[in-house]
Amino acid sequence: MATTEFGHTLRRWRDRVSPEAAGLPPGGQRRAAGLRREELALLAGISVDYVTRLEQGRAANPSEQVVEALGRALRVSPAEREHLFHVAGLVPPGLGTVPAYIPPSVQRMLDRLAGTPVAVSDATWTLLLANPMYTALMGERHGRERNAVWRTFLGSGSRVRHTPRSLRKLEAGQVAGLRATANRYPADLRLRGLIAELRARSERFAELWDTGTVERHDVSRKTVDHPQVGTLTLDCDLLSVAGSDLRIMVYTADPGTEDAERLALLAVLGTQTLVG
């Protein structure tokens, strides 16, 4: 049965990945050198219970998104990623669909930026991977909230401060970017579903989509209102990965500034809540 083979594969590959290789601290005494289920769940953004059920063959039909997330967490090669999809009973995403594979070389680069807020998104602005510093800065994001365009038009927004003008530019830039992505990946059903939902549920999105806006969104500097450390104004650099259409967003502060001090405090606090 495909799900049983998927569970066996998941367990074997979890055992071969050390915490250090996955960008995690070693974490005391271990019965095995590989990742614990809790660590795999954390890295993949799914529950520990679901990882357990998948490994034991009690959960069937993992979604494409779950398989992709587990593959990223396990640092699989392109051939191993394809195998993981097959044993899950799925067809690996092919040409014409938005790439979501993060190469090991990019993973290693992110591991070396542990003290800097860094996130990786695909061409639809869906968050694929965020390091602990990024999560501490911007908060946890789950489900549909992981897509920045959905969050802007239908969700809870973000901690980034906007004026009415900057919000209009953000909205127009996101719609223009999503249209360009749809033109590059016409066969991506998930992308088509996202666009259809946004058009049906958001009058503002539908208006911008129908007018054919080509606004570019400038993300070079952002002001973030953080509930614990206060306001931070940070440089935001957007890097692209050749051949993969991934977007890497990196936040930094000018050395010696209050913003740098608050970012350093955030590194200490992580996702804790200050108690007065």
* 3-state DSSP percent of the chain in helix, strand and coil, to 5: 45, 15, 40
Q: Kind of pairing, strands 221-226 and 118-121? A: unpaired
pLDDT for the residue numbered 214:
74
Rg of the chain (C-alpha set): 20
pLDDT for the residue numbered 248:
95
pLDDT for the residue numbered 96:
81
Residue-wise pLDDT tens digits, 198-235? 999 999 999 999 998 776 666 689 999 999 999 999 99
In the chain, DSSP assigns E strands to 118-121, 127-130, 221-226, 230-241, 246-252
Query: CATH 3.30.450.180 occupies which residues in the chain?
Result: 104-269
Query: CATH 1.10.260.40 occupies which residues in the chain?
Result: 2-87
203 class by beta-carbon count within 10 Å (0-12 exposed, 13-18 middle, 19+ buried) = exposed
Residues of the chain scoring pLDDT < 70: 1-3, 27-28, 95, 215-219, 271-276
Q: Which residues contact 90 (CB under 8 A, 6 or more apart)?
A: 62, 64, 67
Identify the H or E element spanning 65: helix 64-73
Closest C-alpha to 223, from 233, 209, 210? 233
Residue-wise pLDDT tens digits, 140-168? 888 899 999 999 999 988 999 999 999 99
Question: What pTM was computed for the model?
Answer: 0.79
pLDDT for the residue numbered 27:
65
Q: Which residues contact 216 (CB under 8 A, 6 or more apart)?
A: 173, 176
Q: Answer yes or no: CATH 3.30.1330.10 is held by domain 2-87.
A: no
**How far, rounded to the nearest angstrom, does the alpha carbon of residue 177 sit from its chain's CA centroid?**
17
What is the DSSP secondary structure assignment for residue 147, as one 8-state letter? B
pLDDT for the residue numbered 274:
40
User: Could you tell me the CA-to-CA distances from 98 to 42, 92, 121, 181 in Å, in that order?
Assistant: 24, 12, 11, 8
Specify the CATH architecture of the domain 104-269: 2-Layer Sandwich (3.30)
Q: Which residue has the tokens 């930026």?
A: 113
